[in-house]
Amino acid sequence: MWLLCGFLSAALLGLYDVAKKSSLRDNAVIPVLFLNTLFCSLIFLPALWTVDSGGWAVQRYIVLKSCIVLSSWLCAYFGMKHLPLTLVGPINATRPVMVLVGAILVFDEHLNAFQWVGVLLSIASFFLLSRSGKKENIYFFHNKWVFCVIAGAVLGAVSGLYDKFLMAPAESGGLALNRIAVQSYYNFYQCGMMAVMLAVLWWPTRRQHTPFVWRWSIPLIAVFLSMADYAYFYGLSLEGVMVSVISLARRSSVVVSFLVAALLFKEKNLKSKAVDLFLVLLGMLFLYLGTL
């Protein structure tokens, strides 16, 4: 049952990426992101009355998480607007490697042989992706939107490492914060930050940039993300769950987004990108084998 939850979460995350791409095509980024944070806040609003805030001593850490996640989303949204999803997905799929590298630097963790193979395969896949990008006149090392996606992935990895600090038990050096409290409040803070950004940065200059167009895929971004997280955390709560396996299943979301993007958006050079994607998935497999 818990493995089905992992694959369900992966499918929903893949649809989440598709909803983002559909919402951002020829559309203004800041209003789309604001609405995403607004809908996420509304979904988690009831939880604000059921969890202990912990006061400023706790909230200051959650505010920092909000800043990290929102920065990651801003970079990722701008990059996704201007790049094919079949390139963005595999780049984002290398995030576990970034988390591993961060764990080495921050938590003094060590990699075994399988994990190093996974890291090297992911690095190789990145350079192959740059080759695929050239076929569409997208030069990885000279394209600002590629750097946006990479920055979003790096900041997402930083958020993952920060989550470990926030929720790890006190005896392990963490803060042992309530997961629901963190998830609820950081969405609330993000919405406030985006409201300010919308009013100060976008609204006064909106006529000079891409106009905002309402699409029904916009609320689906928050719906798919919330459902994906719920399925994942529910799976983690079941007896006998193997965290390493369910996490690997969740990362297979890139397959869903790749296939749907190929069918829905008619993106190009799919054979070349499929090889790159295979290397990413093979790298994930070696990362998993290294946890056994």
* Alpha carbon of residue 117 to chain centroid: 23
Least confident of 80-89, 163-172, 188-197: 163-172
User: Can you give the pLDDT at residue 100?
Assistant: 67
Query: Rounded distance, CA 31 to CA 88, Å?
Result: 21
The SS3 of residue 237 is: helix
When pLDDT is averaged across residues 143-152 and rounded to a whole number, the result is: 93
On the question of pLDDT at 248 being above 70, the answer is no
User: pLDDT tens across 57-102, in order?
Assistant: 999 999 999 999 999 999 999 999 999 988 888 888 777 677 667 7
The SS3 of residue 13 is: helix
User: pLDDT tens across 255-282, in order?
Assistant: 888 888 888 877 777 788 888 788 878 8
Query: What is the enclosing helix (H) or strand (E) of 116?
Result: helix 113-134
User: Can you give the pLDDT at residue 74?
Assistant: 96
When pLDDT is averaged across residues 108-118 and rounded to a whole number, the result is: 75
Question: 52: left (phi > 0), else alpha (psi -120 to 50), else beta?
Answer: beta
Which of 112-116, 213-217, 259-263 shows the highest mean pLDDT? 213-217
Say which residue, 179 or 22, is predicted with more confidence: 22
